[in-house]
Every structure is written in structure tokens, then in C-alpha cells.
């Protein structure tokens, strides 16, 4: 099935605008910084940060990583709006188990789901 490029571009634009709004909200409501201050902290110009917040530009990996470290939000939240609370709760729960225990449990869940689908 062939996808329509205009619908893909429209969706990407919507996501870019949402991402810009999230970044602006983090800057204003949580970090209490102006554009110049945050831009300096994440290694970009305040003009470019303005473009990002307006949904007209994207941060590079290095700047996302710095914003993540500064804000305490996951890159998943900054980029896609995924709930940090779920990620943090999962990390908390898993820290009590070894990597082998986690892998074994994931394999069990995978097999259990396959079993349920075949019923």
C-alpha cells in the first residue's frame, strides 16, 4: 500500500508542533527559564530554540540529551509525549531484579500471550 506523502508530512508537522509545545512548557513551567537561558544550557541559539518551540525546527541528539538531563524528563517524553510516570515506575519495579530474572519473565509473558491468542 502506497502512502500519501502529504499525509505523512502533515502528521510529522503535527508531531513537531506538539514537541515544540512540550519543550516550551518544560522551559517555562518547570525550569522557569527564558529562551536565552535554556538555549545556552542545551547548546543552541535562542533564535533556533524559538523555531523549535514554534514547531519549525528539531533539536539534535546532543541538545535533547542535555534537555533530558536538565529537566529530568525522559527523551521519550520530550520527543513523543510518552508518560514519564510509567517509565519511572517500571524502572523502580525492575531495579529489584537481576537482568536474567527480567529476561526470564519477559519470555514467560511472551509465551503466555501466544498461548492466549491461540485459545
* Whole-number average pLDDT of the chain: 91
Q: Which cell is 94 given?
A: 525492575
Top-confidence range, 60-69, 71-80, 89-98: 60-69
Alpha carbon distance 65, 44 (integer Å):
13
Which residues have a Cβ under 8 Å from the Cβ of 45 and sit 6 or more positions away?
39
Specify the CATH number for 1-82; select among 2.30.42.10, 3.40.50.12280, 4.10.220.20, 1.10.260.40.
Answer: 1.10.260.40
Question: What's the mean pLDDT in 87-92?
Answer: 82
pLDDT of residue 59: 97
**Using one digit for the tens of pLDDT, what is the confidence trace for 34-48?**
999 999 999 999 999
Amino acid at each position: 500500500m502506497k502512502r500519501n506523502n502529504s499525509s505523512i508530512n502533515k502528521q510529522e508537522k503535527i508531531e513537531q508542533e506538539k514537541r515544540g509545545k512540550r519543550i516550551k512548557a518544560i522551559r517555562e513551567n518547570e525550569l522557569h527559564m527564558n529562551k536565552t537561558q535554556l538555549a545556552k544550557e542545551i547548546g543552541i541559539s535562542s533564535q533556533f530554540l524559538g523555531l523549535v518551540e514554534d514547531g519549525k525546527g528539531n533539536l539534535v541528539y546532543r541538545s535533547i540529551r542535555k534537555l533530558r538531563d536538565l529537566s529530568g524528563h525522559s527523551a521519550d517524553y520530550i520527543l513523543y509525549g510518552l508518560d514519564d510516570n510509567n517509565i519511572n515506575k517500571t524502572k523502580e519495579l525492575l531495579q529489584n531484579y537481576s537482568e536474567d530474572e527480567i529476561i526470564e519473565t519477559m519470555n514467560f509473558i511472551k509465551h503466555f500471550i501466544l498461548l492466549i491468542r491461540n485459545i
